[in-house]
Amino acid sequence: MVTAEQVWEALADVPDPEIPVISVVDLGVVRDVRVEEERVHVEFTPTFLGCPALEVMRAQMAERIAELGAEPEIEVVLDDSWSTDRITPAGREKLRASGFAPPAPRGLGAPQLVQLQSKSFACPYCGSTDTRLENIFGPTPCRSLRYCNKCRQPFEQFKTI
Amino acid sequence: MVSPVFRRVSERAQLLLGIADDELILGWRDSEWTGIAPFLEEDVAFSSIAQNEIGHARALYELAARDLDTTADDLAFDREPDEYRCARLVELRLPSWEHTIARHVLYEQADAARLERLKASGDAEVAGLAAKIDREEVYHRLHAEMWFERLKDEPRFTAALDELRPLAEAVLDPSLRDGHTPELAELWDEMTSVRRSQPTGTTW
């Protein structure tokens, strides 16, 4: 019989298909793993509701659990239990190292326009906070576009939600 | 093709369907700017907003579908146009940028008030989903705020706001939703064409 630890380990190999440097465990979207005899029940939350990566992640998690010889049961939970504060410290570092600025901590509330337009976001390449907002939206729902005035490099900023 | 189940829907399902229909139809309308927005950043922004709205619609339909013993796709695409519960504001085909931004500002304002109400609901599933949706809507509101600041003194924009404002009330008050614009039927035809053309037995 598989253990919950083995399942968590296996899920740590399942990448986010749109940002493959980070796994579903790093992202903090796996809410619960329960092993009941041969059946493994996983609860997970989408990051953004319209994210097409959802179906891919779900299928890959099921596949990894099946490889352990267990019967996967993946439940998508549509509650409010996920925020970008759930991304693990290791996950944040992996994002930064591959050129995605990790999300700012949520702090006291929802982000404000003046905050996004301020120079408080660090460039993932040179670390300068002399950066400006180019677009609130980006190539996927979870990212904004910024530009670093110091190293003259555009970069993608993970949105805080 | 239309199951009688849609005609006797629970109060909760009615509420969810109204909001889901708003988000689905607005998502389609927003996606119409993909490739032809005034500049590239807005192509990206409206495509992303459209993707979010359709994602919200899917989650809301899924909740309603459970109550109605059907599927989100059936709810989204297998009803007749007059069975949709969306507000007229989201149905309009608005090929002018000032009208699009005016609708964006008005809708996001009304939607924010609606989400606040839903977050306070005693129904934990509805409140939880509303809170999750609201995390994403924050960015739509920031985008609308940015454009409002940019255009607020432009007469073409203020005229568009005045023109569309009366339609925004129905976003918050479903009792004001009395019938649809002809644009909805046209959009429905386009939106459901792939699904209606499927050979019998196709699964998605």
Q: Which amino acid belongs to residue B89?
A: L
The architecture (CATH level 2) of B4-176 comes to Up-down Bundle (1.20)
Q: Is A113 on the interface with B (CB under 8 A)?
A: yes
Query: What's the pLDDT at B1?
Result: 45
Partner residue opposite B58 with nearest CB, options A49, A135, A140? A49
Q: Are residues A28 and A72 in the same domain?
A: yes
Minimal CA–CA distance to B57: which of B82, B34, B29, B32? B29
Average pLDDT rounded to a whole number, residues B46-63: 97
Summarised one tens digit per residue, pLDDT across range B164-173 is 999 999 999 9
DSSP single-letter state for residue A104: P
Domain at A150, CATH number: 2.20.25
Q: What is the pLDDT of residues B94-140, one digit of tens each?
A: 999 999 999 999 999 999 999 999 999 999 999 999 999 999 999 99
Residues of B within 8 A of A112 (CB-CB) are: 142
Q: Do B133 and A51 touch (CB under 8 A)?
A: no
Residue A88 included in any domain: no
Note down the domain range covering A143: 100-158
d(CA B180, CA B80): 12
**Global pTM value:** 0.93
For A34-90, write each residue's pLDDT tens digit.
999 899 999 999 999 998 888 899 999 999 999 999 999 999 999 998 999 999 999
- Mean pLDDT for the stretch of residues B137-146: 97
Q: Is A130 helix (H, G, I), strand (E, B) or coil?
A: coil
Model pLDDT, residue B52:
97
- Cβ neighbors of B128 (< 8 A, separation 6 or more) are A78, A79, A80
- Cβ-based contacts under 8 A for chains A and B: 82
Q: B2 falls in which pLDDT band (50, 70, 90)?
A: very low
Confidence tier at B200 by pLDDT (50, 70, 90):
confident
Q: What is the pLDDT of residue B95?
A: 93
Which residue from B minimizes the CA distance to A134? B41
CB atoms < 10 A from the CB of B130, how many?
23
